[in-house]
Amino acid sequence: MSESTTPQQLPDDAVVLDVREQDEWDAGHAPGAVHIPLGDLPTRLDDLPPDDTTLPVICRSGGRSSQAVAWLSQQGFDVANVDGGMRAWASAGKPLTADSGEPRVI
């Protein structure tokens, strides 16, 4: 069974792995997020942030990130699913940034 965490348990500047699609990312993401869409993960493992702590994984509502966490755990990575995804992140009042202009509500 993989670990999970909540947005409230993470610092506002936490490094998280965002596995959403490009348009979702562009609409708004956590300031410290690393963007690797779920489908790209197998070929972009070298792009994962080097860290000795558990890497939180996030998507829109938690479905894709739970898939990513299960797969990454099998590959030996220390990861945790962010329960509720970016919807919960935004609802918790966590900061959002967008690549172009103001972030939209997720």
Q: What is the DSSP string of 29-92?
A: B-TTEEE--GGGGGG-GGGSPP-SSPEEEE-SSSHHHHHHHHHHHHTT--EEEETTHHHHHHHT
Nearest CA to 16 among 4, 38, 34?
A: 34
Instruction: Respond yes or no: is residue 101 known to be catalytic.
Output: no
Nearest CA to 97 among 9, 23, 16, 32?
A: 32
Identified catalytic residue from 19, 27, 58, 59? 59
Active site residues: 59
